[in-house]
Amino acid sequence: MQFEPIGVFDSGIGGLGVLTQCLGALPDESFVYLADEKNMPYGQKSEAEIRNAALAAADFLAKKGCKAIVVACNTATEVAIDDIRRKYPALITVGLEPAVRPCCRELGRGYAVALVTEATARSEKFKNLVSVCDGRVKVAPQNDLARLVEMHKADLELLRKPVFDVLRPYPDAESVILGCSHYTYLRGLVREFYGERIKIYDGAEGAAARLNYLLALADKKAPKGQKGKVEYFSSLNFA
């Protein structure tokens, strides 16, 4: 018997880290992953454009019969998750938020740098999230970094200079919040810049835990021992 899958989308490879966490937390489930490469980069688009792209991605996953949608993208979550929830109230919807809260809880006397897309930095939700941290989170909006990660995913070493340039104004940061799912691929370079002392946060684990919790609450988890499968789609292949 086939069980309803869980849909996961991002503008590209960024959400694969979230998918990996979800697979670890929910090994019996099947997943449909959509890389919305046709609309990448979300972070440089207007709110209306991001909303349209995110709703189209949700439509695709709903048509695939998904019982839940994971918005594995901070930008799309900040801008469009409420619209997705309004359109699909019966689906479990989980978003990805920059891990500002957990970072602030564990922050010592120093400050954190939050790397986010420009669209995330502009959003009211994100501004509210940061405002509770008493100025201890410095926001560094990035114009082109997600696109560079997508472009150089096979050789991230090429991004050493751009990443070091981004971090140079914050030499004594205590923590770094990777507030775009694409930036999670830059963990190694961030650690190389700061050394082992740096604490790095992203929201992938939290999103997987939330999905697990909501599925259990709604009694919608696949039975134990199912052989889950993962299907991968790119919007570049759509007409």
Our answer to whether residue 22 is catalytic in this structure is no
What is the smallest separation between the CB atom of 165 and ligand DGL, expressed in angstroms?
A: 18
Nearest-5° Cα angle at 93, 84 to 120? 65
Q: How far is CA 15 from CA 93, 157, 211, in A?
A: 15, 20, 14
Question: What is the helix (H) or strand (E) element at residue 57, kind and residue range?
Answer: helix 47-63
Residue tagged active-site, from 66, 103, 133, 180: 180
What is the smallest separation between the CB atom of 226 and ligand DGL, expressed in angstroms?
A: 29
- Comparison of 93 and 120: residue with beta carbon closer to ligand DGL: 120
Residue 5 neighbours by CB under 8 Å, 6+ apart: 29, 30, 31, 32, 64, 65, 66, 67, 231
- Comparison of 222 and 235: residue with beta carbon closer to ligand DGL: 235
Question: Is the distance from CB of 171 to CB of 190 less than 8 angstroms?
Answer: no
Which phi and psi (to 5°) does residue 138 adopt?
-90, 130
What is the smallest separation between the CB atom of 224 and ligand DGL, expressed in angstroms?
A: 32
What is the smallest separation between the CB atom of 41 and ligand DGL, expressed in angstroms?
A: 3
Residue tagged active-site, from 22, 66, 73, 103: 73
Our answer to whether residue 180 is catalytic in this structure is yes
- Comparison of 7 and 41: residue with beta carbon closer to ligand DGL: 41
- Comparison of 28 and 143: residue with beta carbon closer to ligand DGL: 143
Instruction: Please report, as ranges, the residues that interact with ligand DGL according to CB under 6 A.
Output: 10-11, 14, 40-43, 73-75, 117, 120, 146, 180-182
Residue with tokens 């988890």: 221
Active-site residue set: 73, 180
